[in-house]
Structure 1
Amino acid sequence: MPVPLLPTMVGACTLSNVYLAQGFPIVRHITMISALVIWLIYLVRIFLVFETCKSEYKTTVPSSLYAGFTMLMMILGSYIFDFSPEMGKLFWSLGLGLHTLHILIFTYRNIVKDFKMDTFVPSYFVTYNGIMVSVVIGGVMKEPTILKIVTYYGIGVFTLIIPFMIYRLVKHDLKDAFYHTQAIVLAPSSLCTVSYLNSVQNPNIYLLGYLYICVLLALIFIIYKLPKFFSFGFSPAFAGLTFPMAIGIVATTKMSGYLKTIGYLDLAIFLTQLSGIQIYLTSGIIFYILLNMFIWIRKD
């Protein structure tokens, strides 16, 4: 079972929350239960083939994607919370704590100890900004201080990394195996936008504008790259398209709602229509990738 299945399920769960907001709870239930089963299988896999997982975790790109395990924990925590607040918050808290530990280990191994330009790819954002999932779905946990700390950390680390990442993508060749990681650039700015609106009562319009402009630029970049992305034969690397596209919908929806509250109605309507296009695109992309992912796993 490939490591990229983890962030793929994070993307599917995020999209299911979008459908919940549209009035389709059954989509969320099916997706969350499926994600829980996959998360449990991965947990068992870690114990049964520990040396394999350890070897994967020592490799930069797979290691960065292992953050999907803790991201999935946090999302599942918000789902479980509906049925058992204590268990849901425990799951969320453990995911947040383990993700923090993962960031520290990843930073030491891949930045401090042995930095390589070849493996400095956008999947770094899965590790460094993925923790912000705790804020996106964490309002019910009633931990406003923690949510604000994670939000400002995420905005800071995104602002720090993104210029270096852009330079790396422009100036250095990207191996085919890592090509689809380029789509991940949509995720951190989207996470920052949603987290900022979720955790700050009176957001700074200039900071919010900066974050959402980054979302729009990244979305345009991905749409431009879509033909090239799908020119490759399918592999688990396609997972790079899933969560970023899904959280991008949430960012646009949240931004539209905010603009409506401050009186920018025309712009809010435009973004609402844009979110519809994003839902349309993302649903097709995630369905295609999930279907092919499971076919690939079965053949493998």
Structure 2
Amino acid sequence: MNINIKMMPISIGGVILGLTAMGNLFYDYFMYSREICDLISTFLFILVLIKLVKYPNTFKEDLNNPILASIIATLSMTLMLYSNYLYFYIGSYSMLLWVIAIMLHIFFVINYIVKFFYKLDTSDFTAGSFVVFAGIQMIAITAPTFNQEFIGTICFWISFILVLLVFLIVTYRYIKIPVNNQTKPIIGVYAAPFSLCSVGYLSSVAPNNLIMVMGFYIMTKILYIIVLEKFIEYRHFPFYPTYAAYTFPIVINTITTLQTIEFLKNNGINLWFMQYELMIEMIIAILLVTYILIQFLMNIFELRKKID
């Protein structure tokens, strides 16, 4: 059994982020879920760092690819989540990692804007384009741990405006320009942008508006159903690295449901059926993340033939 680090796709960052977020999602339901998910995600993150050190040119190539230049931002998003978890062990010292992660994410945003967004070449845009802009919401989501809700609020509005703009461009692209089979699974990212906006809004912005919260919720559920239908439609495809789009976006969508339930309860509204919805979405998240993780591990450790 060999470890094929050089051929490990940067899209594995989505799996790492999905695992990290899933550990947090299930923390109140399953003992040690956070520790188990963090252990696996940290192992994969270390492999990414090894690749960065051994093959730095591959990352330069990724930054020049219109799809990967946005998806790579999942790494900085993961570091922001790590900083939140580390806070419970090392306190305010973890804020240094948070700041570094934010700076790294800003670099990814600038790189993407300069190389691709500025040109507005519609063919460069896919659902993956959401990652770098919607990923700014991770600042809003993690800011309360460090009592930085003001910064979080600013980042929420910046990201929200950018997400609306990119949503129009990306949707136009999908309507007008077809994508190849290998790229099609990346449509799963559609489940993430408004879910991130919802969680960012509920995390850092106060007071929260009921109409806005429910607007985010309805939008996320519409997109969630669409991307799951697409997953079923693409089930006959070989496994592509772009299937990583069905990890974190599915998990953050479930977190949106959980936080919406909590918001409604705090405002005296109890929609009992949402609890069943949450359970179903949790099961789907576990199944999809586990399946895609296994597929990536089989590829990394060369347990099957190289992906076509």
TM-score interval for Structure 1 and Structure 2 normalised by the shorter chain: over 0.9
Deviation for aligned residue 1:122 = 0.7
Deviations, residues 150-170 of structure 1 (Å, cap 9, x unaligned): 111121111222122222212
Aligned length: 296
Aligned to 1:175: 180
What's the TM-score, normalizing by structure 2? 0.91
Determine the C-alpha separation between the residues in 2 that align with 1:71 and 1:94: 11
Matched, 1:110 2:113: no
Matched, 1:148 2:145: no
Determine the C-alpha separation between the residues in 2 that align with 1:87 and 1:31: 23
Listed as ranges, the matches of 1:13-28 within 5 Å are 13-24=20-31, 26-28=32-34
Q: Quick one: percent identity of the two aligned structures?
A: 21
Aligned to 2:285: 282
Deviations, residues 99-141 of structure 1 (Å, cap 9, x unaligned): 01210111010022x4432330011111111121232233211
Determine the C-alpha separation between the residues in 2 that align with 1:208 and 1:31: 29
Deviation for aligned residue 1:23 = 4.1
Give 5+ residue unaligned stretches, structure 1. none
Cα 1:52–1:200, aligned 2, differ >3 Å: closer, same or farther? closer
Aligned to 1:163: 168
Higher share in helix:
1
Give 5+ residue unaligned stretches, structure 2. 1-7
Deviations, residues 146-190 of structure 1 (Å, cap 9, x unaligned): 111111112111122212222221222112121011110110100
Determine the C-alpha separation between the residues in 1 that align with 2:36 and 2:265: 32
CA contact (8 A) 1:75 1:134 kept: no
Listed as ranges, the matches of 1:1-300 within 5 Å are 1-24=8-31, 26-112=32-118, 114-265=119-270, 267=271, 269-299=272-302, 300=306
CA contact (8 A) 2:241 2:296 kept: yes
What's the TM-score, normalizing by structure 1? 0.94
Deviation for aligned residue 1:31 = 1.6
Runs of 4 or more, structure 1, over 4 Å off, are: none
Report the AA paired with residue 277 of structure 1.
I
State the secondary structure of the residue aligned to 1:60.
coil
Determine the C-alpha separation between the residues in 2 that align with 1:103 and 1:126: 10
Deviation for aligned residue 1:46 = 1.6
Determine the C-alpha separation between the residues in 2 that align with 1:73 and 1:87: 14
Deviation for aligned residue 1:218 = 0.5
CA contact (8 A) 1:39 1:72 kept: no
